[in-house]
Structure formats: C-alpha cells, structure tokens
Chain A
Amino acid sequence: MLPLKLAVLGGALSMSALAASAETFRWASTTDPQTMDPHAVNSAPVLSFLNNIYEGLVRRGQDMSIEPSLATSWEPLEGENGWRFKLREGVTFQNGAAFTSEDVLFSYQRASDEAADVRSWFAPVTDMRVVDEFTVDFVTSAPNPLFPDSIANFMILDKDWAEANDAALPARDAENFATMNVNGTGPFTLADRDPGVRTTLAPNGAWWDDASHNITEAVFTPIGNSATGLAALLSGEIDFIQPIPLQDVAQVESRDGFKVLEGEETRVIMFGFGHEHDTLLYSSDVTDANPFTDPRVRLAAAHALDIASIDRVLFRGKIEPASQLVPAGISGFSEANQNRPDYNPDRAKELLAEAGYPDGFSFGLKCTNDRYINDEALCRAAASMFAAVGLNAELSTGPVRDYWPQLREDDFDMYLLGWSPGTFDMEHPIRFLMHSQDDSRKLGSWNFGNYSNARVDELLPMVQQEIDPAARQSMIDEIIAITQDEVAYIPLYTQPLIWAAKDNVELTQRADNFFMLRWVTVN
C-alpha cells in the first residue's frame, strides 16, 4: 500500500564485547504505557505496547499494510452496508481459553462503551452480530470501505476471563483487573509489571503465528530524561531506545557498536490560522480586522518560509517537505497536488501589498515546546522568516498540557500543529482538520481555526462512502486542490523518526512509531 521509505534494518556483525545475551532484550522509551487495558486509553504508548500482547482482527505489517490477524479474510456484506470477518480457528488466549466470535462481540461491546476511550473507532457501526462460532458481521450506517483498516488497533479480550475478573468494562475512574493483568492472543505475555519502573514480557509459546524473533525475555523501562536514556544505551544497560533527540545522533554514530535508525514518521507539522476570528488577538497594529481571513495573506505566510534552511539548520537534513496533511505514500495522498508554495519572500511581500498590508502587521504565534521535535526552535526560525516579509510574530510557547485548551478557546492568531493520520488515510485529516467544526457529528474536532468550505464539507461523506478507488481519489484530489488554493493550513514537513540501538539488534521501524517485539532479533 505505501512505498514509504521503510527502515528495515540489517544489523551489522555484533561486537563480542557488546553482544547482549540473546535471552533478554532490554529497551526504553520516554513514556510508560499508563494501563494494560487495550480499550481504556487511545494513546500511542499504550496501543504500541499492547500490540505485543493483544491482537486485532487485522494487523499492520512492516510496511503498514493491512494483513490478516485474528480474522483470516473479510468481505463487504451483501444487501447491507458493513463487513463480514471470517475468524481464525484454533487460536487460544494466553490462559488457554479458545478464541471465538463471542470474544469479538464482547470486545466490541467493551470497546464501544462510554467508558472506553477508543469508542470513536466504532462511530460508523450500527450493529455487530455473531453469525457462527467463527464469523462476525459489522453493520455500518453507510458504505465504509476503510472500516477494516480503521480497526487495526481494536484488540480482542477473552470474554470469560474479563467477566470472571470484573473487568467487563474498561477502567475509567478506578483501576480494575485488566489495568494490571493481560490475557491476549498475541506473541508476548506479561511476566511482571511495576508501573513506571519496569515491565517484563515473555514470549507466548502457544502463539498461532510463526515467531520470527529470538527473544526469550523483554524488559521495558520508561526513561523520561533523554540524556539518561542515551547514557543507558551507551553503557550497554539497554539494547534499544526510542526516540533519541536529534542532537544526540552524532554522539551515537561516533561510537563503535551502536547505530542510529532513521525513518519518516507519518506526522506532518503545519501552521494553522484563526479562519473565523474577526480580529487579531495579539496584534499591536491591526486591531480591527483579521488579515489571515484573506487567502493572499495566508499564501504570503507560506511563501515566507524557507523549509530547506529549517531542514539544514534545525533538523540536520532529516525532514521531508510536505505539500499536504499526510506524507507521500499514505493512501489518499494527492499526486496531483504535490507542490508546496516555494520560498519566495518577494512574492510574499507583493501578496501582502495586494491584500492591503504593504508594511505587514504583527500577530500572535502559538507553539508547543515539548510536543514535536525541535518545536520551539522551529517556531523561532519561522518567526524570523515571517518578520523578513513584514509579518511580525509575537511568539509564545508552552507545554502541550496547557496548549490544547488554549487552542480550543480560540486563544491564537496562528498556531503550530502536528498531525498523524490514525487510519493512515487522507480521509483522517480531512475529517478532523478540514471539515467545519460540527460537534454533534464529531467532525472537525481539531479544526481549531474552523476552516470551512461548503464543497469540502459536501465531499467528505462521499469520500468516506466511495468504494471505487479512482472515484474516491478524484474527490480527495478536489479537496486538496481547494484547501491548497485557499491555504487552509501551511503544511511544513514530515517529522523524522530517530531511534538508536546496539549494532547486534535488528528491528523494524514502522512509520506509525509503533515498536513491535515480534520483529526483533538479537544476534
């Protein structure tokens, strides 16, 4: 599906002094998965970790393509909207119980309950029924060609186990048995868990698929401080860490026995505007209007940015300029609209003059300082580039925990945002970032500036329901052309993924930043 530059990395010969024992694989990441419950929290650290223990009906391969997992095949329902899944026979949970369609029904009910944070995945589903022991139907309100792709992280629990342990619903206010215990069908099982300190996994000997890893024990430690994490790797106490800061790349590469793994994440970094604001909030000179409502001003801002310099100076050449809200290679990417506004300060000044601001104006730029790679530095660089054409950005940066509430309260003139398409399809950013805000239909919920275009709003449901790929793509192309024409956002670049490991470790760097133990081999 996607020819993303995948880093399936061949490991060099291990140095004998550093060779980890093949038995135990130790790795670290910045965040501890906060729960072992696959339905309680929809966050990447949790879903990434639990994908080693639990499995869905479908799963993503090394290149992000959808492949059979607990379902062996699936096809659209006849006579109604929805999908029929044929389940894999002979699969057992880690406690020995057999996997059947009842478990799928139970997991669906559990994951779509109000107490589950993942319930948005099932918004299109109107009914789910068990056909026989190994067949289930998901009925959707409208044709939904992407439904199988959208439930790759929907993990199946054992019904009897969950009910016997009072974990029939995800823990919302207080913990329950499933917060600390697991019973999945996946390649690994939980051997020991000390939250925030250490989590130990052991291979599931009864896993239905052929294990390609050679791990006999895997120990995960969260290390929040990046310098500590780097020291832990270089001292040999851990075998692998994700991610490492850009500035540490040279340090790792300069040492024998270690390697840096680089790839492209699917996250696109962009600037957004307060499209529906009547006035600027942070301007010292334009107080009675919002110049950014004029597409010429937005285009001027885009022309002011020199992505090549940002790449060279801040990112050591590791970013990929972006023309759209998903990177090339993701399904739905519009080949017809691959050009982004070039760096052209003269054109920017002309456009500002045409729009009635020959001397520019000042405005407020909001940015995070702990969410994306080098986010604060990026915004400083952008502010000085804006200033060169007369757009004087008052930069304010803050931690992400404080950031979303500010954006929700419309407290910005221009803002920074990074977006990773959860379904790995262009429809995802269109639904969340480009459709008008519509809380009742759960659309446009991250479209903070409320960019609104009637044609885009009209096309989105058609894109969602179109079965024919060519027709679907031409509608997406139209949306991208419109939003590029109106400069709804300024897409900047795709963020890099930078991991580091010992030389003797081979692993797969998947573009969604998930780390799968089943692809690890230690030589």
Chain B
Amino acid sequence: MVYFILKRMVQSVFVMLAVAFLAFSLFRFVGDPITQMTGVETSVADQERLREELGLNDPFVSQFMRFTGDMLKGDFGFSYRTRQPVADMIADRIPATLELGVVALIISLVVGVPAGVYTALKPRGVLTQTILMTTLVGVSIPTFVIGIMLIFIFGVQLGWLPTFGRGGTVQIGSWESSLFTIDGWRALLLPAITLGVYQLTLTMRLVRAEMMEVMRSDYIRFAMARGVPMGRLHYKHALANTMVPVITIIGLQFGGVIAFSIVTESVFQWPGMGLLFLESIRFVDIPVMGVYLVVIAFFFVLVNLVVDLLYVAIDPRLRISDVS
C-alpha cells in the first residue's frame, strides 16, 4: 500500500511537469505582460529594460527550466501584477476555494444520493418525474446563468442573502474560514448551490441508474425473499453496491469542481484561487498562472489517489487481490 502511494506521488510529479510545460508553452499566446505592467507614458526603452530584467527575452526552454527549477527549490516567484510572493497569494486563496468545493460536494451528496435512491425505487411517481425534469433544466443552464439568477432572486429581490464575497470569516492559524459564522454561511450558500447543482444532477442520475440495476440483481431478490427489511435492503445492501462507480465519478468530478470553480467564483466575486487565476489572465501574470495550473494538476492527482484508496475501503474484494 505504501509502495502504491509512493508510486502515485512520483507519477504526480511528472503530471505536474507536463502541465507546467503545456501551460508555459501557451503563455506566450496570452499576451505581453510588459504592456500590462507599465503605464501609457512609459518609454519603449524602459519597457525593453524591464523585459530584459524579467528574462522575457530568453528562449522558451530556458524560461521553462528556470520556472521549474525555482519551483523544485520551493521558490514560486513573485507576481507581475502585485509583486507579492506567488506562494502566499495562492495559499491565501486555497481555503476559500476548498471550502466552496467541499460544501458544494456535500450539498450534491446530501441531496443527490437520497433523491437518486427515491427516484430509482419509485420510477413512475409524480415526484420522481418532477425531480428528473427540474434537474434536467438545472444541468442544461450554464453555471453563470444559474449564479446570476440566484443572486437576483435571493440577493436583490428578496434580500435574504449577500450577493458577493465571503461575508464574515474567522482566522484559524493561516486558514481563513467562513464555516464558523452565520454571515460566512449565508455568503457561502448561493455559490455552493451554484457550483454543486451540476454535480448534484450527475450524482442523482448515477445513483438512480446504478440502483435500478442493482435492484434487479439476484441477491436483492433473494434478500427480499428472505424477508430482509426493506429499509435495510435499500440503504445497506443495495446502496453499498452502487457506490463504487458513484465514488469514481464523484471523485473525478471533485477535481473538476475545484478547477472549474472559476466561473462561480467570478460571478460571486468569491476570493478563491479561480478568481485569482482570472485576474491573472487578464493581467498576463505569468508566474501566478503557472503556479495555479501546477497546483490544480496536483489536486487532480491527489483526488484520484483518494478515490483509489476509497475503493479499497468500500469494496472488500479489492483488499484481497491487492494488485500492487
């Protein structure tokens, strides 16, 4: 098992290197950082001097080597835009994005799994049809439209919830959390729903499909024949067997939730990594963009690893035939 984890960690380094390389080769098409860093009146000579000092005239390969070399040494560089250390800027923004992603995930599970089971058990019920229809609408509207709609209904018309930002936050060590104040939760609710709605639909439909499949299988019929109580049958015997594919998909999706929270963060001015990335693109802040993409790649690798480990925990068969 330790070997398995170590192997994954080594693989992750290569994944991150590959991402850094791809990202870096694209940056030159993003725009020119110098024209963003200097004012209108800055002379061409001063611009050139700055370009030279930042090493932007160096060949692509040596710029990339310098970037990865510094990163391996733990030096993440300084932002072109704010001149602050990139590591601090990203670290400051990670809590906001993770809390948003996790709460969105929890919402999608807490609503999605029971709804999936219910719609599987009562496939022809009126409520089932309603749920299926609404979630279909929810999944076909783009995230930012859902966000704006929620803002205008609950923020502007009803005035119940804040329209932007994180509300009240509490500093716990270096972690700025919005989970410990009412204000924080009120600010978190709309963006988390916006981010979770796609995930919710996916979870529900997946659980439903798997559940219907399992309910037709022999062991369930046998258990029914034995007179196993229905609640226990549905939620222990049947649901447990639907969870392996569900966890795979949800786990892989969670990486995506973190990575693509950009849209939600932008709509709600949620000060997470995605918003920082968006600002950085607009400013051609290459150091921040590079580090962000590598961090996101790391998240993906990490999530995949956790998914693999969860399999083992959920499915006893995998524990017997440990392939590693």
Q: Enumerate chain A interface residues (CB-CB to B < 8 A).
A: 32, 34-35, 40-43, 114, 117-121, 123, 171-175, 179, 194-198, 221-225, 227-228, 231-232, 234-237, 399, 401-402, 404-405, 422, 432, 439-440, 442, 445-446
Contacts and interface: CB of A to CB of B under 8 A. Distances in A.
Interface of B: 29-32, 35-46, 49-50, 53-54, 78, 81-85, 89, 148, 151-152, 155-156, 159, 162-166, 266-269, 271, 275-276, 278-279, 282-284
B78 A174 contact: yes
A171 B80 CA distance: 11
Contact of B37 (A41, A227, A439): A41
The 3 A-B pairs with the shortest beta carbon distances in the complex, nearest first, are A42-B39, A401-B31, A405-B32
A35 B42 contact: no
Nearest to B31: A401
Nearest to A120: B41
A231 B279 contact: no
6 contacts: A172-B53, A174-B78, A175-B78, A179-B82, A228-B269, A401-B284
Contacts of B268: 228
Q: Is the interface of A mostly helix, strand, loop or mixed?
A: loop
Contacts of A119: 46
A358 B277 CA distance: 51
Given A35-B82, A40-B83, A118 B269 contact: no
A284 to B, nearest CB: 26
A223 B279 contact: no
Contacts of A174: 78, 83, 85
Nearest to B278: A224
B151 A196 contact: no
Given A175-B84, A227-B148, A118 B39 contact: yes
A195 B84 contact: yes
Best-surrounded residue of B46, B83, B268 (most CB of chain A within 10 A): B83
A171 B164 CA distance: 31
A344 to B, nearest CB: 34
Given A42-B39, A196-B275, 18 more contacts: A35-B83, A117-B42, A118-B39, A173-B54, A179-B83, A223-B269, A224-B269, A227-B151, A228-B151, A228-B266, A232-B163, A236-B159, A402-B30, A432-B40, A432-B41, A439-B44, A442-B44, A445-B44
Contacts of A405: 31-32, 35
A221 B164 contact: yes
Given A42-B38, A221-B165, A235 B271 contact: no
B105 to A, nearest CB: 23
A232 B84 contact: no
A432 B81 CA distance: 25
Contacts of B165: 197-198, 221
Contacts of A195: 82, 84, 89
B35 A196 contact: no
Contacts of B31: 399, 401-402, 405
A179 B208 CA distance: 54
B39 A173 contact: no
A146 B34 CA distance: 29
A197 B151 CA distance: 19
Given A221-B164, A227-B148, A228-B163, A34 B45 contact: no
B187 to A, nearest CB: 10
Contacts of A43: 39
Nearest to A401: B31
Contacts of A224: 266, 269, 275, 278-279, 282
A197 B39 contact: no
Nearest to A221: B165
A177 to B, nearest CB: 12
A92 to B, nearest CB: 28
* Residue of A123, A235, A236 with most partner-chain B CB within 10 A: A235
Nearest to B162: A237
Contacts of B49: 114
Contacts of B276: 196
A179, A197, A445 interface centre (most CB from chain B within 10 Å): A197
Nearest to A423: B41
A442 B39 contact: no
Contacts of B81: 34
A173 B53 contact: yes
